A and B are shown apart, each in its own frame.
Chain A
């Protein structure tokens, strides 16, 4: 009886080392997902841009918020927002005579951001604008 007990729990030095290696390997693999999630977390992912109504008067024409690529205008059903970033490779598009034109590869978009000419394949991104009694708040999440 004693003899079998010893058999069950006996490990050679080499087997123990192999178990140890397997343990470290498994712990390493199990860390890949949480560490990946942690690293790829984007601290700017839910940023808000806000302007006071005193500083920023809305017109029916697009007008940029200083120092950003966010443009606002007064639409028929309240304020509208647009991100002046080309959906092709991300250059800043210029607003000219009712059209958005990308200086990099010549993509063109209509006044409301709809695609007119490639190489871009998607319309310009529209942003949700929230109106409070004294300011406009624009959500500019990166993964929109």
Chain B
């Protein structure tokens, strides 16, 4: 048995022992995947802070508005959450364009492209659900359309009930959607991201961040 020299072996293990020089070139990644993950971390950090003052349901808009205008540093925390989320959608799109440009979706890395497509979809759904949870008129309008679109699908009424819950007319926020937005979807997104990064590293790319 060889004893570990230091106790931070897990952290050391995260870092690969060697990285191909070509993979470190800025042009190889344009840092777009890393920026997406950075935006994700900011969104999670500020999102946890928003949990302290946000109330899903009918009180959503009042809680958001009073948090932004009255709570100390509330405005900057919510702005960071919003802009990091919007930024994540943009960097994810550019990241996908870069992968297509470099033909990086081709075998042997095609499975990671598929994981990436799911990450992309989750990012969009999270962004959209946040838009509804704001609880303002725009979000309520979008919720109406989302409900109508879902109900147009076979079995869509069930899907609408599952994801949107019971929303009152004129309110985009519901407890059901809130649980998906703050817990289930980000959790799935995180697990898939770690899998994505693990595959990137195994395929000889750079580690994320």
Kindly state whether residue B192 has any CB partner on chain A within 8 Å.
no
Instruction: Return the CB mask of B52-88 against A: 1 if under 8 Å, else 0.
Output: 1100000000010011001111100100000000000
Report the contact-size class of chain B (Cβ under 8 Å from the partner).
10 to 19
Instruction: Return the CB mask of A23-59 against B: 1 if under 8 Å, else 0.
Output: 0000000000011011101010000000000000000
Contact of B66 among A37, A39, A43 (CB under 8 A): A43
**Chain A residues within 8 Å of B52, by CB:** 38-39
What is the chain B residue whose CB lies nearest that of A39?
Answer: B52
| Interface residues of A, dominant DSSP | helix
Minimum CB–CB distance for A8 against chain B, Å: 27
Minimum CB–CB distance for A39 against chain B, Å: 5
**Chain B residues within 8 Å of A34, by CB:** 72-73
**Chain A residues within 8 Å of B53, by CB:** 41, 43
**Chain B residues within 8 Å of A37, by CB:** 72-73
**Chain A residues within 8 Å of B63, by CB:** 43
Contact A41 B49 (CB under 8 A): no
B 172-195 contacts with A by CB, 8 A:
none
What is the chain B residue whose CB lies nearest that of A38?
Answer: B73
What is the chain A residue whose CB lies nearest that of B72?
Answer: A37
**Chain B residues within 8 Å of A38, by CB:** 49, 52, 71-74, 77
Minimum CB–CB distance for B88 against chain A, Å: 21
Minimum CB–CB distance for A116 against chain B, Å: 39
A38 to B71, CA, bound (A): 6
Contact of A43 among B49, B71, B72, B77 (CB under 8 A): B71
Instruction: Return the CB mask of B156-177 against A: 1 if under 8 Å, else 0.
Output: 0000000000000000000000
Minimum CB–CB distance for B116 against chain A, Å: 29
What is the chain B residue whose CB lies nearest that of A46?
Answer: B70
A43 to B70, CA, bound (A): 8
| 4 nearest CB pairs, A to B | A41-B71, A37-B72, A38-B73, A34-B73
